[in-house]
C-alpha cells in the first residue's frame, strides 16, 4: 500500500497553531508504548490534546469500531491513508547552541521540527544562560515561535559569581534556580559532599538531575555513587566504566595527559571500557542490576562520539553541504581548546580503540535495557560534526545497532525520553488525554529508520542517479501543525545564503 498524503490539506492545516478539532484519517499508529503498529485509525485532536483514537475492525472488545468517524463541518481534516504516525521524538540531550555555534535559535528549532522532534531536554542552558532558555520555552508554549517544547535545565553554578564548593551554598543555589523556573540541573561532577547536597536538595524541590561525569571528579564519585545519591540520569557514558574497575580505582592516564586538552581527553577516554570488568562478569551484572533497581536513566548519546570511531564519516556527512551552518563548521574544525573539537591528528590507533569501546558500551546499554533499565535517545548535537535533528536520527540507528529492536528504539526516543524529563504523564505516547505531540512519515520507520532523516533515505539507481524517499512530512507540537519539509527548506535557505560566497562544506574532501 502506498501512503497517501493530501498536500493541499496539509498546506491548509500547517499553520503552526492548534486547531479547534482536527482529524487525522487513515493512519497506521506506532504509539510509543511498545505495542505493535495498528491501523487504519483516525485520531481526533482538540486544541493541544488527543481526545479520541478510533481503530477500525469488528472487535469491540479490542476497542475497535466497524464504522469510520464522520468529520463534522467545522472539523479540519487530514487524509493520511497508510502514513505512519508516531509520538513526536524527544531529544533527551539537546542544546540550543550559542552564537559561536549557530546562526540563530530558529535554525536549530527548525532542524528539530523538520525531524519530528517535539520535545527537547535543553541540557544546561550552557551557551545562552537559563533566562534565554526559559524565554524560548515560553515563546514555544504560546505558539509564538516554531519550536519544540523545551524542558529547561540549567548547568550547576549558573548565575553564581564564583565556583560553588560549599554544600550549604550549593543547596541555596538549587533553591534559587528552582524558584527561577528550571526543571532540572546539569552537572559535570562535583566534590562528593557538594554533589550529595545538590542531588538531595534537587530531589526536595522536584528538580530533575543529569550528570556528565567529568574525569576531574570521577575518582571522588563515579556514576554508581551519584546514582546511589539520587542522580536521575547518567549522560553519555563517563563514570560507568569506573564503577566497574576491579584492578584500579583511577583511570591509567598517560603521564603527559592534560584534561584541558580535548585530544588528550578523547584519546584516553577511548581506552576506559577495556579497563573495566568484562561483559557478563559478576561486577558487570551487579552494576547493571543496581542502576536498574535505583531507577537511574541512561542517555548514551552514541551518535556524538561516532567521529571518534570514524572521523571521515562525520566530516563528510551527506547533509553538511545543505544543512550545516558556517558557525557550526567553524566550531567543529580542529581546535583542542573547543569542547569536543579534537580531530587534529586523529589516527587509526585512536579510532580502533574507540571501536572496541563502542562494542563494550553497546553491550552494556543493551544488557541494561533488557533488564528493565530506562533509556533515552539524546543527540548532544552541536558538537563533533553533529547537526541538530540529523544527530538524533543517527542515535536511533545506533540504539538499533546496540541490539534494541526498531519498535523499542521508537519507545526509547519517545516515552523513554518523556519519562526522563519527568513529563510522561503529559506526552511521549499516542494515547487519549496526552498532548498532541506527533510526527507523520509516509514510509515505515520500523523497516528503515533512515526514512526519518530530513534529507530522506537516498537510494542509488542503476543509472547512477539517486532518489530520496521519506523524511518526516508533518510534525505536530501541542496540536500545532508544521510542514516538516517547509521547516527544512527554511534551514536550507539560511545555509544557502551563508554559502553565497563559497561553500561551507564541500561534498568531497581532497588534498
Contact footprint for Zn ion (CB under 5 A): 380
Residue 432 CB, nearest distance to Zn ion (Å)? 34
Shortest Å distance, C-beta 123 to Zn ion: 5
**Rounded distance, CA 152 to CA 195, Å?**
20
CA distance linking residue 11 with residue 473, whole number of Å:
11
Q: For the chain, give the longest Cα–Cα distance.
A: 75
* 14/92 with CB nearer Zn ion: 92
Which one, 242 or 380, has the nearer CB to Zn ion?
A: 380
- Shortest CB 63 distance to Zn ion, Å: 41
- Whose Cβ is closer to Zn ion: residue 94's or residue 494's? 94
- Shortest Å, Cβ 211 to Zn ion: 11
The least distance separating Zn ion from the CB of residue 234, rounded to whole angstroms, comes to: 13
Q: How many alpha carbons fall within 13 Å on the CB side of residue 379?
A: 31
Closest residue to Zn ion using C-beta atoms: 380
R_g (Cα) of the chain, nearest Å = 23
How many secondary structure helices (H) and strands (E) does the chain include? 19, 18
Distance CA 63, CA 355 (A): 47
Q: Given the complex with Zn ion, which of 14 and 187 has the nearer CB atom? A: 187
Nearer to Zn ion, 84 or 383 (CB): 383
Nearer to Zn ion, 225 or 380 (CB): 380
Taking the complex as a whole, how short is the minimal distance between the CB of residue 271 and Zn ion, in angstroms?
22
Angle separating helix axes 105-114 and 484-498, nearest 10 degrees: 140
SS3 339: coil
For Zn ion, the closer of residues 149 and 380 by Cβ is 380
Q: Which residues contact 376 (CB under 8 A, 6 or more apart)?
A: 90, 92, 93, 121, 233, 297, 298, 299, 412, 413, 416, 417, 419, 420
Number of neighbours of residue 363 by Cβ within 10 angstroms: 17
Nearest residue (CB) to Zn ion, 350 versus 380: 380
Return the ∠ at Cα 25 (arms to 21 and 26), rounded to 5°: 160
Please say which residue, 38 or 127, places its beta carbon nearer to Zn ion. 127
Question: Minimal distance in Å, beta carbon 216 to Zn ion?
Answer: 17
Give the list of residues 6+ apart from residue 169 with CB closer than 8 angstroms, or none.
none
Angle at 130 between CA 124 and CA 133, to 5 degrees: 85
- The C-alpha atoms of residue 353 and residue 308 are separated, in whole angstroms, by 9
Nearer to Zn ion, 127 or 346 (CB): 127
Question: Measuring CA to CA, how many Å separate 279 from each of 199, 236, 358?
Answer: 30, 19, 13
Tell the smallest beta-carbon distance from residue 439 to Zn ion (Å). 23
Q: Could you give the CA distance from residue 377 to residue 295 in angstroms, rounded to a whole number?
A: 17
d(CA 324, CA 437): 26
Q: Specify the residue for cell string 583511577.
A: 250
Residue with cell 515563546: 139
Angle at 296 between CA 292 and CA 299, to 5 degrees: 110
- Beta carbon nearer to Zn ion, 114 or 378: 378
Considering the complex, what minimum distance in angstroms separates the CB of residue 93 from Zn ion?
6
Amino acid at each position: 500500500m502506498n501512503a497517501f498524503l493530501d498536500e493541499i490539506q496539509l498546506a491548509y492545516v500547517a499553520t503552526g497553531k492548534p486547531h479547534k478539532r482536527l482529524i487525522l484519517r487513515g493512519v497506521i499508529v506506532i504509539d510509543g508504548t511498545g505495542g505493535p503498529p495498528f491501523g487504519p485509525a483516525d485520531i481526533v485532536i482538540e486544541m493541544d490534546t488527543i481526545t479520541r483514537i478510533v481503530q477500525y475492525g469488528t472487535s469491540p472488545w479490542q476497542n475497535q469500531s466497524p464504522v469510520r468517524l464522520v468529520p463534522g463541518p467545522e472539523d479540519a481534516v487530514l487524509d493520511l491513508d497508510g502514513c505512519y504516525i508516531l509520538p513526536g521524538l524527544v531529544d533527551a540531550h539537546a542544546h540550543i547552541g550559542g552564537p559561536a555555534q549557530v546562526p540563530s535559535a530558529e535554525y536549530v528549532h527548525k532542524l528539530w521540527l523538520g525531524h519530528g522532534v517535539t520535545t527537547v531536554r535543553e541540557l544546561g542552558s550552557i551557551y545562552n544562560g537559563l533566562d534565554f532558555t526559559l524565554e524560548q520555552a515560553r515563546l514555544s508554549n504560546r505558539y509564538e515561535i516554531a519550536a519544540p517544547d523545551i524542558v529547561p535545565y540549567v548547568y550547576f553554578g549558573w548565575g553564581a559569581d564564583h565556583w560553588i564548593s560549599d554544600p550549604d551554598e550549593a543547596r541555596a543555589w538549587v533553591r534559587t534556580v528552582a524558584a527561577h523556573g528550571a526543571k532540572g540541573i546539569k552537572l559535570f561532577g562535583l566534590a562528593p559532599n557538594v554533589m550529595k547536597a545538590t542531588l538531595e536538595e534537587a530531589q526536595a524541590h522536584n528538580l530533575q538531575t543529569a550528570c556528565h561525569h567529568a574525569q576531574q571528579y570521577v575518582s571522588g564519585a563515579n556514576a554508581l555513587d551519584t546514582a546511589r545519591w539520587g542522580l536521575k540520569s547518567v549522560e553519555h557514558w563517563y563514570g560507568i566504566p569506573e564503577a566497574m574497575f576491579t584492578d584500579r580505582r583511577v583511570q591509567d592516564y598517560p603521564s603527559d595527559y592534560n584534561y584541558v586538552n580535548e585530544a588528550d581527553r578523547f584519546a584516553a577516554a577511548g581506552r576506559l571500557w577495556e579497563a573495566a570488568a568484562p561483559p557478563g562478569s559478576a561486577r558487570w551484572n551487579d552494576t547493571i542490576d543496581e542502576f536498574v533497581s535505583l531507577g537511574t536513566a541512561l542517555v548514551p548519546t552514541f551518535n556524538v562520539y561516532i567521529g571518534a570511531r570514524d572521523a571521515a564519516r562525520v566530516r563528510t556527512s551527506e547533509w553538511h553541504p545543505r544543512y550545516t551552518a558556517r558557525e557550526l563548521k567553524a566550531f567543529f574544525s580542529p581546535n583542542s581548546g573547543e569542547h569536543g573539537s579534537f580531530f587534529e591528528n586523529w589516527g587509526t590507533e585512536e579510532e580502533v580503540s574507540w571501536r572496541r569501546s563502542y562494542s563494550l558500551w553497546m553491550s552494556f546499554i543493551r544488557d541494561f535495557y533488557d533488564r528493565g533499565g530506562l533509556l533515552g535517545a539524546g543527540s548532544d548535537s552541536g558538537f563533533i560534526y553533529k547537526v541538530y535533528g540529523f544527530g538524533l536520527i543517527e542515535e536511533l540507528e545506533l540504539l538499533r545497532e546496540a541490539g534494541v529492536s526498531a519498535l523499542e528504539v521508537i519507545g526509547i526516543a519517545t516515552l523513554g525520553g518523556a519519562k526522563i524529563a519527568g513529563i510522561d504523564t503529559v506526552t511521549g505516547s499516542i494515547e487519549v488525554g496526552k498532548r498532541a505531540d506527533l510526527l507523520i512519515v509516509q514510509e515505515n520507520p520500523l523497516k528503515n529508520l533512515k526514512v526519518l532523516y530530513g534529507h530522506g533515505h537516498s537510494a542509488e539507481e542503476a543509472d547512477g542517479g539517486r532518489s530520496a524517499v521519506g523524511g518526516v512530512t508533518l510534525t505536530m507540537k501541542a496540536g500545532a501543525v508544521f510542514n516538516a519539509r517547509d521547516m527544512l527548506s527554511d534551514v536550507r535557505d539560511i545555509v544557502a545564503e551563508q554559502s553565497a560566497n563559497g561553500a561551507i562544506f564541500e561534498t568531497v574532501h581532497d588534498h
